[in-house]
Structure formats: structure tokens, C-alpha cells
């Protein structure tokens, strides 16, 4: 008979079965599921005794009361770790967790192959004007093939803003298509950027030289509205903009203006300020915009991989190990002290 001493809590939002299957192999770990809607008393009762909270990374799917911030942490004295269900952690207040001695982990890289493929799909769809052709075929006749004539990506310069797990995979795919790849990443040396498949440049150089700019950076205080009216204006006339990063890194109004003025030729967008965006969003009215619903990392393979990685990290952490994807490493001394007290 199992003795359940360590309690992992997740919501009833969809997650691949690999998460529960992996933690089910731990003899002293229980996984409980709380309802995000309809029974807050039951949810709080479970949260108050949890050691690990595996929180949905989808900010527009999770009711705000379940975001891992100071208020929730105050009501969860046993909590040792907040685990994001994805690479992003928009639903976690990392400074508040650090102040409370709570470790934060994410699943960075778990969905990188899927996001990289999706990025190339957006690039090809916009460059070849596939979406425009598809839409026009469904609503009209009489236009010529030359009316929707696009461009090859071969020989073009791709600028990557961020070259981490996903960006480096995009670089490899782009090179296979015969593209020149440049990148800017403040966390990496030029030598490391080169090792990952790109030539290191500054952001102004990247904007001026790229035929396609693709975002692969995290959303934080340094990147919020990084792409705005001024930065879009610095891009080449006729260039394309792609983002599979996070909503808020690009200014949607500024992008709509850059597209409607003709300065930019098209955009492929998987991320939005509000997800999904309202039906009357100006960008959705433009045929030159290829729009998807934050699905770049939502494939069967990626979801299973991310769930498995998340469970593996939690199992490691609960047995005294240090997880490889620790978002707030500075918390570790305080975390270890609390863990010794709570899991005596």
C-alpha cells in the first residue's frame, strides 16, 4: 500500500496522461486535481496542503484566482514548488515565489521542435501567400495566379530575436532552406550564437538586415513591447514579421499600422495580447496576416513531452534533487531550508 506523504496538485484543465502516469510510479507522491471553476472551497482546501502546484501556463484559460501570486502563496504554507505546465510562466509571480522560498520550474525546450516547425510554417505561408490564396479561392473568382504570387524564402535573411531552445531549431531548419540566419540574444556570446547556427548582430542591425524577423524571446520587463512603431519602422520595407513567442512582446496596433501602410508585407502570428483575440481585431481582417491560436507548441508530441518533463522534474525535486529548469535559482538555499522543515 502506498503512503502518500508528498502532495502534487494540478487543475482539471487538459493535460497529457504522461504527467499522472510518471508521478504514479512514486510510492510516496499523490496527485490531486482541483476544479478551476464551480467549487472554490474544495480547490482551496486542496491547495492549502499541497507541496507542489503544477499550474497551467495559459493565462487566458486560468481564472485569475489560481494564478500563483502573493495571495495564493499566503494561503498555501506547505507549498515548496510552483511548476508551470509550459515553457512560459505568465501565470506565476516569480519574485513573489522567490520571496516566499518557493521554487519555480518550467518546461523550457519541451515543445521546441513543434514551435520551430510552426514558425517555418508561418514563414512559408506568408512568403508564398498561401493564406491569401486559400481565402480568395473560397470567396471569389476571376483573380489570376499572379495576383497572389509570393516569394521563396531561399536566399533571404532571417533575423531571430532570441536563439534558445526554439530559436536554434529554427536556425537549423532555415539553413536547410538556404537562408542566411542572424540573431540577437543578450544572454549569449557571439561565439555561442554562432555555435547555434547564426551570426550574432545587434537588434538595430537585425532589423535593418532581415527579410524576415522572428521572435523567440521570453516575455519580461525587458521585452514587453520590444516590437513597437519605432522598431517596426526600422525593419526593411517589404519585410515579414513572425512571432511564436508571447503576446505583448509586439505592439499589435503598431503592427497593424505597419502592415496597412505597406511598410511590412505580411505577418505570421501565433501569440496575442488576448487569446484568442476578438473577432473584430484589425489584424484578423488582413489577408496578409497568417493567424493561429497559440498552437505552435500544441501538438500531441509536444504536449506529451512537456507533461513528462514536468512530472520528471517534480519527482526529482521531491526526492531532494535540483531540477534542471529552475527559473529562480537564487531561491535554492531558502527552498532547501523550507523543504527540510516541511518534509521531515
155: left (phi over 0), alpha (psi -120 to 50) or beta: left
Return the active site residues: 246, 275, 294
| Cβ atoms within 10 Å, residue 158 | 28
**For 289-314, what is the HEC assignment?**
EEECCCCCCCCHHHHHHHHHHHHHHH
Give the CA-trace dihedral at 123, 128, 130, 133, to 10 degrees: 150
Helices (H) and strands (E) in the chain, counts: 13, 12
Q: What angle do CA 189, 195, 200 make, to 5 degrees?
A: 50
The grid coordinates of residue 89 equal 510562466
- Contact 328/103 with Cβ under 8 angstroms? yes
Tell me how far apart the alpha carbons of residues 172 and 295 are, in angstroms, rounded to a whole number: 21
Amino acid at each position: 500500500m502506498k503512503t502518500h506523504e508528498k502532495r502534487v496538485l494540478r487543475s482539471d484543465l487538459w493535460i497529457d496522461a504522461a504527467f499522472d502516469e510518471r508521478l504514479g510510479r512514486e510510492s510516496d507522491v499523490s496527485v490531486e486535481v482541483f476544479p478551476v471553476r464551480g467549487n472554490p472551497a474544495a480547490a482551496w482546501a486542496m491547495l492549502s496542503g499541497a507541496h507542489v502546484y503544477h499550474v497551467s501556463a495559459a493565462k487566458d484559460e486560468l481564472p485569475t484566482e489560481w494564478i500563483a501570486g502573493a495571495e495564493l502563496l499566503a494561503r498555501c504554507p506547505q507549498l515548496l514548488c510552483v511548476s508551470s505546465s509550459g515553457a512560459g510562466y505568465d501565470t506565476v509571480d516569480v519574485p513573489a515565489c522567490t520571496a516566499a522560498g518557493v521554487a519555480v520550474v518550467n518546461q523550457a525546450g519541451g515543445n521546441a521542435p513543434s514551435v520551430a516547425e510552426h514558425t517555418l510554417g508561418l514563414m512559408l505561408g506568408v512568403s508564398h501567400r498561401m493564406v491569401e490564396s486559400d481565402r480568395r479561392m473560397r470567396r471569389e473568382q476571376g483573380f489570376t495566379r499572379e495576383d497572389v504570387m509570393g516569394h521563396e524564402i531561399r536566399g533571404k535573411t532571417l533575423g531571430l530575436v532570441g536563439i534558445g531552445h526554439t530559436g536554434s531549431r529554427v536556425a537549423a531548419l532555415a539553413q536547410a532552406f538556404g537562408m542566411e540566419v542572424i540573431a540577437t540574444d543578450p544572454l549569449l556570446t557571439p561565439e555561442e550564437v554562432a555555435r547555434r547556427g547564426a551570426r550574432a548582430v545587434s537588434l538595430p542591425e537585425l532589423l535593418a538586415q532581415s527579410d524576415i524577423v522572428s521572435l523567440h524571446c521570453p516575455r519580461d520587463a525587458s521585452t514587453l513591447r520590444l516590437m513597437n512603431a519605432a522598431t517596426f519602422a526600422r525593419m526593411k520595407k517589404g519585410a515579414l514579421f513572425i512571432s511564436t513567442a508571447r503576446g505583448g512582446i509586439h505592439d499589435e496596433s503598431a503592427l497593424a499600422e505597419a502592415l496597412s501602410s505597406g511598410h511590412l508585407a505580411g505577418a505570421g502570428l501565433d501569440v496575442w495580447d488576448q487569446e484568442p483575440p476578438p473577432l473584430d481585431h484589425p489584424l484578423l481582417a488582413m489577408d496578409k496576416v497568417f493567424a493561429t491560436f497559440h498552437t505552435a507548441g500544441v501538438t500531441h508530441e509536444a504536449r506529451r513531452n512537456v507533461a513528462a518533463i514536468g512530472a520528471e522534474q517534480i519527482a526529482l525535486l521531491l526526492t531532494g534533487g535540483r531540477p534542471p529548469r529552475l527559473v529562480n535559482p537564487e531561491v535554492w538555499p531558502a527552498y532547501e531550508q523550507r523543504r527540510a522543515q516541511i518534509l521531515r
